């Protein structure tokens, strides 16, 4: 199974704008994988949305789920 | 008025509306322009900053003649010229937890056009306490965010606020802000205009406003991404319970902006010297040595800073002293004078340490 990541804001500098990951069971698992692959991400604040819905707790991922990572913006 | 679904009734609603725009910068300028042109009855503008040359590429209500003048006042003037029929009120002060509830209470809808987290959390919390809808916009480099928070059509509706997204507080150094990360000038123009549009939709009841949804716009490829937001259980416990608790909050401290003057080290200072366009101010007493011959600096003793501020021309200032302590104090002092209109730094370790490191480099 694969999931599609869409990355926003400053996180793009770290992860690029799009990323496809294989074999990720849930969002906790996803965070662990990303932190291992991109150590710069550890401690960064961002929202996670699964299929365009912002989630707060651990959420199961399905084949072809789209996960968006959104950091906060402060500029004006 | 001839617009479908809008008509005389829509226009009437606009003329009855009272909108507060916080910040008079990149997001707020276009928002203010369209709100005034649309005939919003009363518009308040809060900002304690002054217009700087580096603002003009995105803060379109101002021109070169406004440099050094109050943003809130210049913006209100510009709107009055555009539409003399509306009431514009400028608050030439910084919005703090001490004045926020009093000012916000006068208005129906609050537009956030600020550029830092401590203001955003404070505005969010104040809006929750006062039960006011909050039209949020923010930008970073090439992307912008937009949402309507804290809007309830009926009392039982659930409404999302900023803390449901980022319970916070967020420290400024966890995310780059505009000054550090830069922003494409037209982007706050687009997002600010969208904030005005959402506000007009809320007032007149047309269309589908972005209630409890977050829109992200990418200026490079025009991609728009919309997310459905949800409340979080812990959010309410993070927001001050009542007015008294709000008055006790220290948002600057929570968001790590309390120590505003920024200390720079030897190498960053040298880079700034090379790139030019900075004023180096030596705040030591006139008899203090060693003299500085290696770069151009201006000697203004600490206690004479205020009366000599007219000598400071550049938008970037580095304060320097013997050890770096007095200069840090001086930088804080200058921050209170210039706000965010100038970038103010202090050289860590002072001239003594700089000379030592400089001598080493020459070896």
pLDDT at position B90 = 97
Residue A20 has pLDDT above 50, yes or no: yes
User: Which residues in chain A have their CB less than 8 angstroms from residue B177's CB?
Assistant: 74-75
User: Which residues in chain A have their CB less than 8 angstroms from residue B115's CB?
Assistant: 74-76
- Across the beta sheet with B298-299, the strand order is B262-264, B343-347, B316-320, B278-282, B298-299
Q: What is the pLDDT of residues B84-97, one digit of tens each?
A: 999 999 999 999 99
Residue B262 has pLDDT above 70, yes or no: yes
- Tell me the shortest Cα–Cα distance from A51 to chain B, in angstroms: 9
- B204-208's contacts with Cβ under 8 Å and 24+ in sequence apart are B204/B6, B204/B10, B204/B13, B204/B14, B205/B13, B206/B5, B206/B6, B206/B10
The dihedrals phi and psi of B262, each to the nearest 5 degrees, come to: -105, 125
Q: Could you tell me the pTM of the whole model?
A: 0.75
Cβ–Cβ of A8/B216 closer than 8 Å? yes
pLDDT at position B74 = 97
Cβ–Cβ of A8/B139 closer than 8 Å? no
Q: Comparing A38-52, B223-237, B244-258, B294-308, which segment has the lowest mean pLDDT?
A: B244-258
Q: Is-catalytic flag, B127?
A: no
Structure tokens at B169: 């507080």
Residue B28 has pLDDT above 70, yes or no: yes
Structure tokens at B300: 């203004």
d(CA B355, CA B290): 9
Interface of A with B (CB under 8 A): 6, 8-10, 43-45, 47, 49, 52-56, 68, 70-76
Residue A32 has pLDDT above 90, yes or no: yes
pLDDT at position B179 = 45
- pLDDT band of residue B279 (cuts 50, 70, 90) is very high
Between B62 and B272, whose confidence is greater? B62
ipTM for the predicted complex: 0.93
- Region B118-134: what's the mean pLDDT? 95
Q: What is the pLDDT of residues B150-203, one digit of tens each?
A: 998 887 888 999 999 998 777 655 664 444 457 888 999 999 999 999 999 999
Q: Which of B139, B141, B166 sits opposite A76 (nearest CB)?
A: B139
pLDDT at position B33 = 97
- Region A20-36: what's the mean pLDDT? 93
Residues composing chain B: 363
User: Which residues in chain B have their CB less than 8 angstroms from residue A75's CB?
Assistant: 26, 115, 138-141, 177-178, 181, 183, 188
């Amino acid at each position: 199974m694969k999931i599609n990541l869409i990355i926003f804001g400053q996180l793009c500098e770290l992860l690029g704008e799009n990323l496809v990951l294989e074999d990720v069971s849930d969002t906790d698992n996803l965070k662990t994988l990303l932190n291992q692959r991109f150590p710069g991400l550890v401690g960064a604040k961002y929202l996670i949305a699964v299929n365009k819905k912002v989630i707060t707790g651990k959420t199961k991922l399905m084949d072809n789920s789209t996960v968006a990572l959104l950091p906060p913006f402060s500029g004006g | 008025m001839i617009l479908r679904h809008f008509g005389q009734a829509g226009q009437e609603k606009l003329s009855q509306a009272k909108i507060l725009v916080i910040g008079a910068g990149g997001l707020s300028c276009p928002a203010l322009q369209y709100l005034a042109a649309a005939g919003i009855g009363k518009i308040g503008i809060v900002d304690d900053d002054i217009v700087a040359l580096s603002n003009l590429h995105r803060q379109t209500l101002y021109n070169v003649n406004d440099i050094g003048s109050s943003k809130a006042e210049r913006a209100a003037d510009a709107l009055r010229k555009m539409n003399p029929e509306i009431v514009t009120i400028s608050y030439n002060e910084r919005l703090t937890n001490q004045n926020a509830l009093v000012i916000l209470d006068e208005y129906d809808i609050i537009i956030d056009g600020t550029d830092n987290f401590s203001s955003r959390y404070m505005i969010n919390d104040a809006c929750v306490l006062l039960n006011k809808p909050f039209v949020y916009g923010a930008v970073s480099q090439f992307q912008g965010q937009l949402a309507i928070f804290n809007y309830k059509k009926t009392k039982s509706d659930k409404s999302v606020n900023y803390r449901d997204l980022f319970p916070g507080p967020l420290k400024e150094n966890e995310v780059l802000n505009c000054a550090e990360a830069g922003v494409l000038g037209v982007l706050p123009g687009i997002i600010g205009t969208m904030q005005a549009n959402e506000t007009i939709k809320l007032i007149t009841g047309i269309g589908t406003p972005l209630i409890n949804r977050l829109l992200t716009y990418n200026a490079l490829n025009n991609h728009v991404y919309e997310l459905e937001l949800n409340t979080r259980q812990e959010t309410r416990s993070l927001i001050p319970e009542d007015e008294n608790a709000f008055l006790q909050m220290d948002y600057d401290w929570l968001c790590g902006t309390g120590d505003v003057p920024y200390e720079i080290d030897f190498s960053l200072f040298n880079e700034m010297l090379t790139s030019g366009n900075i004023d180096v101010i030596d705040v030591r007493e006139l008899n203090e040595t060693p003299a500085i011959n290696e770069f151009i600096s201006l000697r203004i003793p600490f206690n004479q800073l205020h009366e000599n501020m007219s000598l400071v021309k550049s938008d970037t200032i580095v304060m320097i002293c013997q050890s770096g302590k007095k200069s840090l104090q001086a930088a804080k002092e200058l921050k209170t004078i210039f706000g965010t209109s100038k970038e103010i730094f202090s050289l860590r370790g002072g001239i003594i340490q700089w000379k030592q490191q400089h001598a080493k480099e020459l070896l």
